[in-house]
Amino acid sequence: MAAPFLVLTDFTPAADQALRYAAALAAPVQAPLVLLHIRRETLLDPDAFNGSIRHLSEGEVAAALQERVQPLGVPVVVESAVEGVEAAVTDAVRRHAPSVLILGKPDTETTPDELVTSTSLKLLRATRTPLLVVPIGTQAVVPPHSITIAADNSSISLKTQSEGMRDLLMQLKPRLTVSHVAEPEDSDTCTAALDAVASSGLVTGIETRIHSHGVRHRRIPEGILQAAQETHADLLVLVARRRSFLGQLFNRSVTSQVVLHGHLPMLLLPALD
């Protein structure tokens, strides 16, 4: 049986869309879902800043979970947590060993970056499990037909937890493109990036051609999003290196900036380095 997808919900529209996306992604690979309810104020939520969040009773939580699970058409286990998001997710990952953690991202474009808690990178730091961020309003096809993998010219050593995502790619058989962002005065050839992705094991066993797409841009996060648009990606894959989420300033990292401002689903793969 395939490893489950762990989906977080706080009953917001962004979480509801992420759940529908997760179900559509899980169906063709016959993966079950674990739906974990966490308190809304613990996720990336603009309403957390103005105190407009209403607390739900246990009965209301159970009813809301059932309402969301009923139409999905895939096996789902529901759970509810009372602790903070990091502790709750870490415990769920330990118990269920999911292949991926999925959460929705509300519209934060009007919220200054320094006020936005980058929940995704906190969860990567806590669980070291691949994380799929689904922005609200995304129109991306699911399962994805076209996937773009953003890579620099450095070697990539992925955590063993990413093996499930390699299996997912093998089963979905999407068009795969490796993109590399270079400074405007530098070459945008993708040879080193292609080699890094191939050596990482992420595309091992995939027999279809791996395409490449170079972009020149002064700002790497914007260049990555430009590459995703130019390659008509339905899903963007990012390698989250340890330096991206260590310390207090990880909201300024390339990975975090792409997640904060991206409008298509983004899969973050934790690297060893």
Sheet holding 146-150, edge to edge: 76-80, 33-37, 5-9, 100-105, 131-135, 266-270, 235-240, 146-150, 175-182, 210-216
How confident is the model at residue 116, as a pLDDT? 56
Report how far residue 78's alpha carbon sits from residue 66's, in angstroms, rounded to the nearest whole number. Answer: 8
How confident is the model at residue 42, as a pLDDT? 45
> Cβ distance 45 to 104 under 8 Å?
no
How confident is the model at residue 45, as a pLDDT? 47
Write out the chain's pLDDT in tens, 273 residues: 789 999 999 888 999 999 999 999 999 999 999 999 987 554 444 444 334 445 777 788 888 888 888 889 899 999 988 777 888 899 999 999 999 999 998 887 766 665 555 667 678 778 889 999 999 999 999 999 999 999 988 888 888 888 889 899 999 999 999 999 988 787 778 899 999 999 999 999 888 899 999 999 989 999 999 999 999 999 999 998 776 555 444 456 788 888 888 999 999 998 887
Name 108's Cβ contacts closer than 8 Å, sequence gap at least 6: 44, 46, 116, 260
3-state secondary structure string across 65-82: HHHHHCCCCCCEEEEECC
How confident is the model at residue 251, as a pLDDT? 54
* Residue whose C-alpha is closest to residue 114's, from 222, 256, 268, 242: 256
* Residue whose C-alpha is closest to residue 174's, from 233, 97, 108: 233
Domain with CATH 3.40.50.620 in the chain: 5-135, 146-270
How confident is the model at residue 113, as a pLDDT? 60
Report how far residue 249's alpha carbon sits from residue 73's, in angstroms, rounded to the nearest whole number. Answer: 41
How confident is the model at residue 50, as a pLDDT? 37
> Cβ distance 146 to 175 under 8 Å?
yes
Q: Is residue 59 within a helix (H) or strand (E), and if so which, with residue range?
A: helix 58-69
How confident is the model at residue 47, as a pLDDT? 42
pTM of the model: 0.89
How confident is the model at residue 248, as a pLDDT? 45
Give the homologous superfamily in CATH for domain 146-270: HUPs (3.40.50.620)
Report how far residue 76's alpha carbon sits from residue 64's, in angstroms, rounded to the nearest whole number. Answer: 14
> Cβ distance 104 to 120 under 8 Å?
no
* Residue whose C-alpha is closest to residue 197's, from 152, 144, 236, 165: 152
Fold of 5-135: Rossmann fold (3.40.50)
